[in-house]
Amino acid sequence: MGVFALPSLGSDMDAGTLVEWLVSPGDTVHRGDAVAVIETQKGAIEIECFEDGTVQALLAETGKELPVGAPLAMILAPGESAADEEPEPISAVPEPTPAVPVAEPLPAPAAVSRGAAIEASPAARRRALDLGVDLAALTGSFPGGRIVLADVEAVATRTPTSVPAKPPSAMEEMRKAIGSAMSRSKRTIPHFYLSQSIDVQPAMDWLTAHNAGTPPADRILLGALFVRAAVRAATKVKVMNGHYGDQGFEPAKSVNAGVAVALRGGGLVAPALMDAERLGLRETMAGMRDLVSRARAGRLSNSEMTRGTITISSLGETGAEAMTGVIYPPQVALVCLGAPQVRPWVIGDGIVPRQVVTLTLCADHRVSDGRQAARYIAEFTAAITDPESI
């Protein structure tokens, strides 16, 4: 029997609010199953179970803010019997910080957990949290019963609530989280930067030709080629891929490619495409599509939020030509790509207009030097200028 505690939520997010249980006592769970939804400063995150077993008791109530490490549930290992001991959650974990509602195990929580996820948009979730509206009590007006912002506001205007004066908005919370992670990064990581302009005309021509005869579901974006090239370079220059922790740098065995996704209204998240070195271009594109849709819908998991080993931030297909970014700790490198620009380019003896992208590699000087950064850029360039090979 083990206490399942709230795992890390990402850099500098040390607490979150339990908004929903996705399992009930008696349910069988497997490693990687989502068991709860935690609202964080960066939106809702699904918390995954670490091991196989059976949920014996839920130890935390919905609506409560919990620090990382707070006990969430008692999980029996396969074959273990529930009969014996009364769970002693508190002794099993480090002393939680104040204001933690380490509750007695909840009674059979029919009302708390329904075993199925409540389908609600991120905006609706945030508003419901701000207004103290119970999502489970609402009927969604969106096709399929999904709860949208308007449903929450409709209830809120009917029901007088005792709303605290002015809770910080979700956006303020996200800015705070980004500010704190980025301040820590700038304070502790000695950044250095190398830049290179790269002719991406071959990549764009290849994409145009590929997409012309392809139904929308199978089309590929330049961003997927960038991620693929960045991942390939990371497998070759291993000092760019991993985490810097108490023991110094630990290179990662696989490449979990963080993909920076800008959120409408401001802020961003960088969920990871796990084991990206095993994915071909089509699978990389499919994985990115899935990450972006779930980032928009507020359905990312804690492992995607914490296990990235290198991040790729691309400004998209139109916009500024270069960006110098801030490394997302505990990672040690960030690959920034500006939007493609038409620029004069020398090919042979001639000057021709070409689509050019500026790559800036931001790296951690505790771990690598300019020579390795230059090698990374050379590997990236080789991959992107020969799109057939990706």
Partner 1 sequence: MTQDDIRTAFIEELTKIAPDIAAEDIGETDHIQDDLGLDSMDVLNLVTALHQRLGVDIPEPDYPRIATLSDAVPYLAAKGAGS
Residues in contact with partner 1 by CB under 8 A are: 121-123, 142-143, 148-150, 208, 211-212, 215-217, 219, 221-223, 262, 264-265, 288-289, 292-293, 296-297, 316-317
Nearer of residues 88 and 317 to partner 1, judged by Cβ: 317
Q: In whole angstroms, how close is the CB of 288 to partner 1 at the nearest point?
A: 7
Nearer of residues 150 and 374 to partner 1, judged by Cβ: 150
For 51, the 3-state DSSP assignment is: coil
Q: In whole angstroms, how close is the CB of 289 to partner 1 at the nearest point?
A: 6
Q: In whole angstroms, how close is the CB of 123 to partner 1 at the nearest point?
A: 5
Q: In whole angstroms, how close is the CB of 202 to partner 1 at the nearest point?
A: 17
Sign of CA dihedral 219, 221, 227, 228: positive
Residue 294 CB: number of other CB atoms within 10 A?
17
Whole-number Å distance between alpha carbons of 234 and 220: 21
Nearer of residues 136 and 262 to partner 1, judged by Cβ: 262
Residue 21 forms beta bridges with which residues?
36
Radius of gyration of the chain (CA): 23
Nearer of residues 149 and 322 to partner 1, judged by Cβ: 149
Q: Are 227 and 284 in contact (CB under 8 A)?
A: yes
Q: In whole angstroms, how close is the CB of 296 to partner 1 at the nearest point?
A: 6
Nearer of residues 209 and 346 to partner 1, judged by Cβ: 209
Considering only CA atoms, which of 189, 193, 232, 207 is closest in space to residue 359? 193
Identify each DSSP E strand in 280-349 by its residue range: 300-301, 310-314, 333-337, 341-347
Considering only CA atoms, which of 322, 96, 305, 81 is closest in space to residue 198? 322
